[in-house]
Chains A and B, each alone.
Chain A
Amino acid sequence: MANTYRVLDKVRLQDEEEFVDILEDKRYCSDLRFAFRTFSPPPYKGAPACSSDELNQAVLESQYLRYVIKEVALETGSSVEEVRDEACGIMWEMSQNLQLRFIRLLGFAVRKVFKRIFSAIYVNMEGLQVLQQATQECPVILMPNHRSYIDFLVVSYILFNYDIPVPVIAAGIPLAGMKIVGEILRRSGAFFIRRAIGSDKLYWAVLSEYVRTIVRKGFAPLEFFVEGLRSRTLKSLPPKLGMMNMILEPFFKGEVYDVTLLPISISYDRVLEESLLAHELLGVPKPRESTAGLLKASRVLQENYGCMHVNFGRPLSVRRLCEGKINRCQYNLTPRDLPQKPNAEAQACGSWLAHMIVRLQEEGALTSPWSLMACVLLQVPTAVLTEEGLLFHQLTEQTLWLRKLALDFRAHLNWPEKVPDSDVMSSTMALHRSVVYRKAGRVYLTRNDELERKHSIEEDMMRTAAALLMLASYRNQCLHVFVRPALLALAMSITKSTKKDELLTCFCFLQELFSNEFVFIPGQSSQDFEEACSLLHKCKAVHVGQWEVTDSDTGPEVLSFLQELLKPFIESYQLMFRFLCEERDCVFREKDFLSGVRTLATKLIVSGELHTYEALSSDMQKNVLSSLRRLGAVTKITISENNEYKVNKSAVRRTGDMLAGRIPLQIVQAAPDARL
């Protein structure tokens, strides 16, 4: 554990790093000349370069795959040749085909687009220099957060720009299905992974060997999104561990000296997909990735999306981080090529690392003024925003107050310096006119009513909901800054206690309950708690004694703000608990749950009983399900195919009561996480 802290501290040291706009000096140089620049990254010292054909060959001929093919053949009764052909097919579907000329082509196109839609792309040069060094030493894993499709291209683009080997990128298979674009991506280094792999043994084998071979050969960095998906809510997602384990294995088995993990935080002022995401959360299905769709979407390219910050974190040595956590001798007594599941120790290590990366991504992210404004706006009653409007100067005042709090909480802000605060506010509002607009000194919610026609109440509500969910997403961008102190503030209000141990128990309960909403490093609750205490102490909201935490004179303002910040989550969770308890049947289907909750929430919002629109978010609804499953209040019925669940109503009720502080906390059964 001590390790984490050291790492986190080191990363914090880079606070005042300088960001450089990479579009700035290039804006005047021709795109074509840019595309044909000489690209000469320093070579990797560990091994010679390796073409994609050689890579595929190495995978297919690997001893590991030969074992698995034999096993699969035996299990399915088909011949070894057939299985091998199948494996070849999977390879063919998956493999990247990185070619420099396509990187050039991509560079050309991306630059054209970027210059149009972004006013600046800021990159920390120091991080790049360190990265360039690292790529020569050992295999590097680039781990950006994933908020937009743009993420795919931007890292490769930057690396190409600065003579660093361009990465091969793990991408979802739907992208491969796009005509032409899929192929371009493939040749720019993307390899494609199916979504629901399930128990397809052969597929897992090919994929894992492919990833491991990339790491072993180390000829190019490997880029993947540890969150697994694009975050629909702009919040960090709990990391997926499959890829992580594949990447660590070559190190555990001594096949590489070390693996370097490099967290990258990409922060957008405004996300291209904002309205698409909000509608998706409201149940409008996501359009299939297709080239035609992309062309149709080209209208989004007419708008301005502000700035983008790409913060390259400090390289982390897996070897150093795993010191004392993993006994590498355990691999000595069986052939390393033998298919073996990672043991508990290795899995725990992978999970710990993955969570830590997410935390570092969060810490490296830059918080925009807009994100702070969203926090403020969401605490204003909806009716105010839709009807009478919020006074602009009031918004400004509160946002500035929040800025100070965020700085106290060690957030990295990208608040423009040397610009009057009011200008910052107005320009931010202008950038986000798709969500709010200013009229006569008041701020209103934008609702897409280009067409002046009568709307039904329902339709009206959906438009409000879309705008509010967008707003919520932008709030989510900075939630990680406040979440620990906020959970403590919440614990204080739930327990009405000042005793540290009671607060810690409640804090842990909340972490556990919301572990799908907010990412915490497993097994580090007490450190998180200490951090929350010290941050609240720092902003003078509480006094922290050895045994007690008490609020101070200036406390209520901060504490109530933080409690309000999490209120949408509490309310939504309570609503869904209520829904589950009120249902007649104990068995329900996921689909019915989603639509049922939506209907109930809509009803209650209209009646004014429910104040948050976030209960409508399918993301939140699914999170409640997983959370209850983890707590054992809901179990999945495995036999059925369409995701049926069985609910333990009393357990759900109890959880709701504990959350509301109606009954004292019982120790919550935390999911077992070995050796953390």
Chain B
Amino acid sequence: MASNSSGDESTRHQTARHRLSVIAGHLQRPTDRNAALLAVDCKAQGSKPNVNTSDRGEGRTVPRRRQEIMKWNGWGYSDSRFLFNKKGQAEFTGNRYRLSGMIIPGLKDWMEGTFGANLQHKTQATPVLNTSAVQPPTLNEAFVEELKSTGIPFSHEAEDRVFRAHGHCLHEIFALREGKIGRVPDMVVWPNCHNNVVKIVELACKHNVCLIPYGGGTSVSSALECPPEETRSIVSLDTSQMNRILWIDEKNLTAHVESGIVGQDLERLLNESGYCTGHEPDSMEFSSLGGWVATRASGMKKNIYGNIEDLVVHIKMVTPRGVIEKSCQGPRMSTGPDIHHFILGSEGTLGVVTEVTIKIRPMPEYQKYGSVVFPNFEQGVACLREVARQRCAPASIRLMDNEQFKFGHALKPQISSIFTSFLDGLKKFYITKFKGFDPNRLCVATLLFEGPREKVLQHEKQVYDIAAKFGGLAAGEDNGQRGYMLTFVIAYLRDLGMDYYVIGESFETSVPWDRVLDICRNVKARIVRECKDKGVQFPPLSTCRVTQTYDAGACVYFYFAFNYRGLSDPVHVYEQVEHAAREEILANGGSLSHHHGAKHHQLYLNHG
């Protein structure tokens, strides 16, 4: 929350705040110049001829009323979802994705086999939001009055408020599906530009109103949860309408962008000008630039483009004490601690990020997927370690364990021709019979190369040569591409699972190289054991992938899901198991999070 929250601040907080204001004072422009700005000023400001920003909203994914295109109690677009059709085959609806409209024959068996799920046992989510279940808003009349006079759009409709009361943690979605609605924001405002935000924050301070910044709503750290004990009016500040690229600087290869733009729009608009940021977190369809900054996000192609902290050149953040920004766009500074470093990862607790200058690159000339099969996970990790040692990681390299490989396999769409199915059979025969890979141990690394064609091919050869040293066999582009698809549809799959008593979530960590294998084994085993101890009737899915490589370590990503039939409080069990898994991660030398953020983990940070 950006406003001054609880009254009894500890002295520590006060000092911190004081220091913050001093720092802010150094960095701030004279504020009185902008003091009387109204919303209408936004239109004129900052538009550049080379980017079409005047018709706001056109070509943008996210409307003010999110409910028009998105699910209120699940992931993503309303028209896209997995379901089992009348024949009992899995199908993905809609037409937005490569997988849309396709039959996925393997999914049913996989779900039944992995979770002991059964198509007969279905648990339906509450279909529509029951607005009467939503508490009436606690409005701060004075605030509302003054806000009205600024002309900034706002709403206190139940649907709008419920939409902004949650991220995508399991417990949040689970509660929504059951129609349970807790404390929600009392009001939603949609600023159109930086100055709007300045105004809103100013009014919030003046009238003692809480602000919760809301970007894409994809948080998995409970950062959007409204504290139930909060009695003041809570206002959700939705940045989604601040979605313009304000300018592109082709000489310095930077773009100045409003923080509410979502990843897919940013990338598409930049592509129109021949550029990209290369920042592609798995949530990029819906997550926003401001959210990336606030959570220290990481993109899958960070090996080429860097993580968000490497990408930002300049950040503008509105705090209760004024606007913080650097005075120049220099690539590096040595003037005391870098203020970006406390903005990055602050998860909206210090202020609202409104504008970001981000590095851009010319679009890659050539892209190629690839994959390598290893006889076992140990060999795979050894190969990734070697790739990192030689610093020749492709744009993305991920190593999935055996379970996840099978998971990815289950998502293969129906094969159209007999020829491809024959080829697949042949491939399988070659790997398991001829090469002697154990189908229950082998694992696959998925690769994505980017760059000039010549270099990509050269690079590809280098990586495949290293892989060969560790017993890896090239396994084709298709396997690679499907691996990446899995991460984009996983959230949709979770909704499908929840229809059939399966709940799950992902969490991630970063860990030194020498501990990668140990942490993967121990955390997975701990999950299995804890599930058993907590009375879960079926063995859980406990799987991981090494998803990023660094010089000194790697990022490991875990999926964990189980069939909760027979449990009275599945979410509680889930949370206990996740807690145990986190504890195991810490005991094995891993970090609490690599890129998801850590709001609801304050507990750990205190003693960890």
Binding site for B on A (CB under 8 A): 46, 254-255, 257-258, 328-329, 331-332, 335-337
Hey, which chain B residues are within 8 Å of A332, CB to CB?
Answer: 589
Residue among A255, A257, A329, A336 making CB contact with B526, cutoff 8 Å: A257
Contacts A254-B522, A257-B522, A257-B526; A335 near B514 (Cβ below 8 A): yes
Query: Are A254 and B525 in contact, CB atoms less than 8 angstroms apart?
Result: no
* Most B Cβ at <10 Å: residue of A46, A254, A329, A337: A254
Residue of A nearest to B515 (CB): A254
Query: Considering only CB atoms, which chain A residue lies closest to B522 in the complex?
Result: A257
Q: Give the 7 A-B residue pairs with the shortest CB-CB distance, closest first.
A: A328-B587, A332-B589, A254-B588, A257-B525, A254-B518, A257-B522, A255-B518
Cβ-defined contact, B521 with A257, below 8 A: yes
Mark interface residues in B577-608 (1 if CB within 8 Å of A CB, else 0): 00000000011110000000000000000001
Pairwise interchain contact B588-A328, C-beta atoms closer than 8 A: yes
How close is B504's CB to chain A, nearest CB, in angstroms? 21
Total B residues in contact with A, Cβ cutoff 8 Å: 13
**Set of chain A residues within 8 Å of B515, measured between Cβ atoms:** 254, 336
B residues in contact with A46, CB < 8 Å: 521
Q: How far is the CB of B108 from chain A (nearest CB, A)?
A: 28
Are B586 and A329 within 8 A (Cβ)? yes
Which single residue of chain B is at the shortest CB-CB distance from A337? B514
Majority-rule SS of B interface residues? helix
B519 at the interface (CB under 8 A from A): yes
Majority secondary structure of chain A interface residues (helix, strand, loop or mixed): loop
Scoring A257, A258, A336 by chain B CB atoms within 10 A of each residue's CB, the highest score goes to: A257
Known: A46-B521, A257-B521. 5 other contacts (CB 8 A): A254-B587, A257-B522, A257-B526, A331-B589, A336-B514
In the complex, A46 Cα to B514 Cα: how many Å? 18
Q: Whole-angstrom distance between the alpha carbons of A200 and B496 in the complex?
A: 62
User: Chain B's nearest CB lies how many Å from the CB of A67?
Assistant: 14
Chain B residues with Cβ below 8 Å from A328 are: 587-588
Q: Which residues of B contact A257 (CB under 8 A)?
A: 521-522, 525-526
B608 partner residues in chain A, CB cutoff 8 A: 329
Tell me the complex Cα distance, A258–B524, Å: 13
> CA A257 – CA B515 in complex, angstroms?
13
Chain B residues close to A by CB (< 8 Å) = 514-515, 518-519, 521-522, 525-526, 586-589, 608
CB distance from B512 to the nearest CB of A (A): 9
Cα distance A332–B518 in the bound complex, in angstroms: 13
Determine the residue in chain B with the shortest Cβ distance to A47. Answer: B378
Min C-beta distance of A642 to chain B, whole Å: 47
Closest to B528 in A: A257
The residues of B that contact A335 with a CB separation of less than 8 Å are: 514
CA distance in complex: A87, B526 (Å): 37
Chain A residues whose CB sits within 8 angstroms of the CB of B589 once the complex forms: 254, 329, 331-332
**Measured between alpha carbons, how far is A331 from B590 in the docked complex, in Å?**
12
B436 CB to closest chain A CB (Å) equals 12
Return B378 CB to nearest CB of chain A, in Å. 8
Q: List 15 A-B contacts (CB under 8 A).
A: A254-B515, A254-B518, A254-B519, A254-B522, A254-B587, A254-B589, A255-B518, A257-B526, A258-B525, A329-B586, A329-B587, A331-B589, A332-B589, A336-B514, A336-B515
**B379 shortest CB reach to chain A, Å:** 11
State A336–B515 Cα separation when bound (angstroms): 9
> Given the complex, which residues of A lie within 8 Å of B518, measured CB to CB?
254-255
Closest Cβ neighbor of B588 among chain A residues:
A254
The interface residues of chain B lying within 8 Å CB-to-CB of A329 are: 586-587, 589, 608
Q: Which residues of B contact A255 (CB under 8 A)?
A: 518
Residues of B with C-beta under 8 A to A254: 515, 518-519, 522, 587-589
CB neighbours of B588 from chain A (8 A): 254, 328
Which B residues are in CB contact (< 8 Å) with A258? 525
Closest to A331 in B: B589
Identify which of B521, B587, B588 gathers the most chain A CB atoms within 10 Å of its CB. Answer: B587
Closest to B533 in A: A320
C-alpha spacing A337/B513, complex, angstroms? 13
A62 to B368, CA, bound (A): 38
Tell me the complex Cα distance, A245–B589, Å: 21
Give the distance in Å from the alpha carbon of A331 to the alpha carbon of B587 in the complex.
Answer: 8
Contacts of A336 in B (CB 8 A): 514-515
How distant is the Cα of A380 from the Cα of B129 in the complex, in angstroms?
A: 89
A337, B586: Cα distance in complex, Å: 19
Find chain A residues with CB under 8 A from B586 CB.
329
Q: In whole angstroms, what is the CA distance A257 to B581 when docked?
A: 13
Per the bound structure, the CA–CA distance linking A258 and B526 in Å amounts to: 10
* Complex: A31 Cα to B195 Cα, angstroms: 93
- Cα distance, A449 to B299, chains bound together (Å): 90
Expressed in whole angstroms, the minimum distance between the Cβ of A317 and any Cβ of chain B is 9
For residue B525, which residues in chain A have a CB less than 8 angstroms away from its CB? 257-258
